[in-house]
Structures are given as structure tokens and as C-alpha cells.
Amino acid sequence: MARQRAGVAWLGVCMASLLTACSQGEGFADIDQYMAETRAKPRGHVEPLPEFKAYEAFSYSAADRRAPFEVPIEVQLTMVDQAPESNVEPDLDRPKEVLENYGLTELKMVGTLRDAGGDLFGLVADSEGGVHRVRSGNYMGTNYGRIIGVSESRIELIEIVPNGRGGWVERPRSLSMDEAEG
């Protein structure tokens, strides 16, 4: 058994030396010539990649203003020196809603919600961390603000404020969703 292994090993050594002796570098002349021609040619030039400007996000600063394609709400302020002839006044006998305990500066629109019937509700966060669902007809703010419309990005309301002469006047206001937070 050991002899047989020794014979196989000897045969392997003979074959390796025979193959080495046969390859004296002959037969590669065409490859060497091609490599020499390729090295002699002028080298190519790779242009650098173009530089791209970083994307700058656009901040829309007119989100709290009236949309240009919506019909403006006309508010007539008649400041004449005579006694005011206005039938606008808040309903003081009406029970107050929860959001009427906060000023509009303390309230923030945080989103919208659509029910199964397709009605759109606005989501309003108060200064204490509570979130309330509102729709047209609800009241909010300390100036008797009645909601007249809810859209995906804003809540429109009409406030009733004193005109300084013992009467009242309606004033349009809106509460917009803050784009920077979302």
C-alpha cells in the first residue's frame, strides 16, 4: 500500500516536471506583440462626473392666507360717526363649546378626518395637548368664532368682535395646518 502511494507520487512529480519543461515561453509571441501594441497606443481620457446641485426644499409662506381661487368673504366695516346700525351680535345664551375656552393663538390645526359618509372633519389641538374634531357649524376661539368651512389644509371661521362703539362686527379668520411639522 505504501509502495503504491509512492509510485503515484513519483508519477505526479514526473508529469509536473515534463509540463514545466515543455513550456519555455514559446508560442506566446502573438500575445506579447498584442500587449506591446496596446501599451504603445495613447491612453484615453475619462471625463469627471458632472456636479449636481443639492435639492432645496421650497417653503410656502402664504399658507395662512386666502387661496387665490376661492371666493373672498366680503366683510363690510362701516365706521361712521353715528351710532352703529348692526344686527350682528353673539348668542350669549348658547352653551359654550370646549374650544371656546382657548384663543385662536392657542389652537393648532393638526389634520383632517373623513367619516364613512364622506364628511370632512378638522382635527384641532389645544394648548393642553388635547385633540378635538370640528366641522362646519362648531364654535372655537374666545371671540365667538363659528366654523364656516373645513378643507384639507385650513379651517375657515367668522368671529364676532366688538367694533369699539358698543356694537359688533363679523371678522373672517382661518386656522391653517403648519406645513413645517408634517
Sign, CA torsion 125/129/131/136: negative
The pLDDT score that the predictor gives to residue 6 is 79
- The model carries a pTM of 0.51
Query: What pLDDT is attached to residue 23?
Result: 59
C-beta separation of 170 from 88 below 8 A: yes
User: Residue 107: CA atoms inside 13 Å, Cβ hemisphere, count?
Assistant: 27
Q: In order of start, what are the domains of the chain with their CATH numbers?
A: 99-176 (2.30.30.830)
- In the block, cell 368673504 appears at 73
- The answer to whether 131 and 112 are in contact (CB under 8 A) is no
pLDDT at position 17, please?
75
| pLDDT tens, the chain, 182 aa long | 777 887 888 888 877 777 666 656 567 888 888 999 988 888 888 888 888 888 888 777 777 777 778 777 776 665 555 555 567 888 888 999 999 999 999 999 999 999 888 889 999 999 898 999 999 999 999 999 999 999 999 999 999 998 887 888 999 999 988 754 43
Q: Is residue 121 a contact partner of residue 134, using CB atoms and an 8 Å limit? A: yes
pLDDT tens digits for 22-34?
656 567 888 888 9
